Amino acid sequence: MKSKNNVWFWVVISIYVVITILRLINHQPWFDEAHAYSIAQEMNLLEIIQLMSLEGHTFLWYLLLMPFAKLNLWYPWPMFIMNYAFALISVIILWKKAPFSNLTKTLVTFSFPFFACLPILARCYAIGVMFLFLLQALFKDKLKHPLVYSTLIVLCANTSVMAIFGAAAYGFIFLYDLIKSGLKAETPKKDFILSSVIMAFGAVLIFWQLGSTSKLLTSEGGVFLSKFLGFLFGNSLIINWFALISFVTGTCAILLCLIFAKNLKGIFYYIFTFGGLLTVFLTIYAGWPHHFIFLYIYVLLSAWFLEKGGRTFLIADIMIAVMFAGLIFNDKSLDLIYFNSRSVSIAKSIINDPNLKDARIIVYESPAKTPLPLLKVNNIDVWDYCSSAPADSSIVMNLSTPICTMYDKVYLTPYVEKVLAKDKDNYSILSVQENNTYEPVFMIQQGNVRIIYEFYRGFKNSGYLLYKTTRVEI
């Protein structure tokens, strides 16, 4: 049986690696990936930690990016490779340590979270999932290695807000068991004190980073419901209902299994993580697909608590399989957010165009800054319209300013004048929205000054056009 399990494991992992690497090779960073890299490029560690309340994340991913970003090394491949390694390790831990059947593990492996999102989206999520799986895999032996376990909890909490819930739940359970063990003199006093200090330090670090509420987090419950249904639903009515019903029944079934088994630690973990994350989505931040996957991951980890003799409850195993099967046929592989960014292509077309290499490029919205890391390396002059300053990782374009809000921007001649270079040609990267029509030439005017936009070139499959931008007095 063990031999068959090994064969199945190697077949699944081989298929997984080949397909996900092919996907990764064809992936180009989208805005959030490039944005994190730009932050690591521009800021020191203290500045990054102080920024995290606005970013809504914690600092570890940015710290890992810093050496490559500061030295301008091979963007975006170090970022891609590190993230891919974390995703692959997560899948391997699942196969080697989780108490589920091979069929369930296979469905989880080839579901959207582990097959299409985590190994491709080079953000702070795959590393968080890896630490969560490590914490669960080592859960039974946590008191044998308290310093290792407490360190893993702190590291996990410092990957993202999504992972904080799991890290905190493991931390509370670990602390409870550590105190009980310490009172019985089963844990050496030195290990007890050091583990407590490590977790206390981790708590202070989290409060330092996330102590203030971001002004960007303004979504409501209705927005979450709409987004989450969009995440579940594909093009098929049958698949839509299957995804929805499997999620509802799966989440309820796992909780009932934990209650039936009287697994108090598992019940606490489920309520704290799943309930806490759902509360955030409903009241603070509506989230996106790469956030919603943590609802599934926390249910999976809760079912893992039911492990007995290397297996879990049959009903728990079946419901995890059904839940993740609902995400196999709703693959978001056509979503711009994961696969269709053209940031590297845009950057290379600008860098290789002799007319653009010595020009100033003006961007009018945050996503248009996605090629920025590559443009910076090649000394391309890029300016923000909304901040009237050289472009950087600032998210000022998503905040309310005299000319830019989260949802709109206003083209005003005096503000455009502020960003135009007087000693070089100027070009504007403008987005093409669904309700816009292509205009080869257009202009804005105030008083005796006109700003003329003349179409220069498009960027294939990117949603952006480049316009030569000229100031004319009349």
Model confidence pLDDT, tens digit, residues 249-273: 999 999 999 999 999 999 999 999 9
* Cα distance between residue 451 and residue 462, in whole Å: 25
Residue 389 has pLDDT above 60, yes or no: yes
End-to-end CA distance of the chain: 84
Residue 215 has pLDDT above 50, yes or no: no
Inter-residue contact 260 to 149 (CB < 8 Å): no
Quote the pLDDT of residue 403.
Answer: 80
Residue 45 has pLDDT above 50, yes or no: yes
Q: With pLDDT > 70 as the criterion, what percentage of the chain qualifies?
A: 92
Delimit the domains of the chain by residue range: 2-325, 343-473
Residue 34 has pLDDT above 90, yes or no: yes
Residue 117 has pLDDT above 50, yes or no: yes
Q: Give 3's pLDDT tier (boundaries 50, 70, 90).
A: low
| φ, ψ of residue 360 in degrees (nearest 5) | -105, 130
Quote the mean pLDDT of the chain: 89
258: left (phi over 0), alpha (psi -120 to 50) or beta: alpha
Helix axes 125-137, 60-70, angle to 10 degrees: 130
Q: Which amino acid is at 34?
A: A
pLDDT in tens, 391-430: 998 876 445 677 877 667 788 899 999 999 999 999 999 8
Q: What would the mean pLDDT of 460-472 be, rounded to a whole number?
A: 90
Inter-residue contact 92 to 56 (CB < 8 Å): no
The more confident residue out of 388 and 37 is 37
pLDDT in tens, 120-171: 999 999 999 999 999 999 999 999 999 999 999 999 999 999 999 999 999 9
Q: With pLDDT > 90 as the criterion, what percentage of the chain qualifies?
A: 69
DSSP string, 80-138: HHHHHHHHHHHHHHHHHH--S-HHHHHHHHTSIIIIIITTTS-SSHHHHHHHHHHHHHT
Contacts of 176 (CB under 8 A, 6+ apart): none
DSSP string, 225-263: HHHHHHHH--S-HHHHHHHHHHHHHHHHHHHHHHHHTT-
Other Cβ atoms closer than 10 A to 389: 13
The more confident residue out of 407 and 75 is 75
Quote the pLDDT of residue 450.
Answer: 93
Quote the pLDDT of residue 337.
Answer: 54
Contacts of 113 (CB under 8 A, 6+ apart): 293, 296, 297, 324, 327
Q: What would the mean pLDDT of 73-97 be, rounded to a whole number?
A: 97
Q: Give 110's pLDDT tier (boundaries 50, 70, 90).
A: very high
pLDDT in tens, 275-325: 999 999 998 888 888 999 999 999 999 999 999 888 888 999 999 999 999
Quote the pLDDT of residue 216.
Answer: 47
Closest Cα to residue 394, out of 366, 428, 362, 371? 366
Quote the pLDDT of residue 99.
Answer: 96
Quote the pLDDT of residue 396.
Answer: 61
Inter-residue contact 329 to 146 (CB < 8 Å): no
Quote the pLDDT of residue 233.
Answer: 85
| φ, ψ of residue 333 in degrees (nearest 5) | -65, -15
The more confident residue out of 235 and 472 is 472
Q: What would the mean pLDDT of 232-243 be, rounded to a whole number?
A: 82
DSSP type of residue 452: E
Q: Which amino acid is at 107?
A: L
Q: Give 339's pLDDT tier (boundaries 50, 70, 90).
A: low
Residue 219 has pLDDT above 60, yes or no: no
* Three-class secondary structure of residue 441 per DSSP: strand
Quote the pLDDT of residue 220.
Answer: 58
Cis peptide preceding 113, ω within 30 of 0? no
* Three-class secondary structure of residue 327 per DSSP: coil
Alpha-carbon torsion (244, 287, 88, 166), positive or negative: negative
Quote the pLDDT of residue 324.
Answer: 96
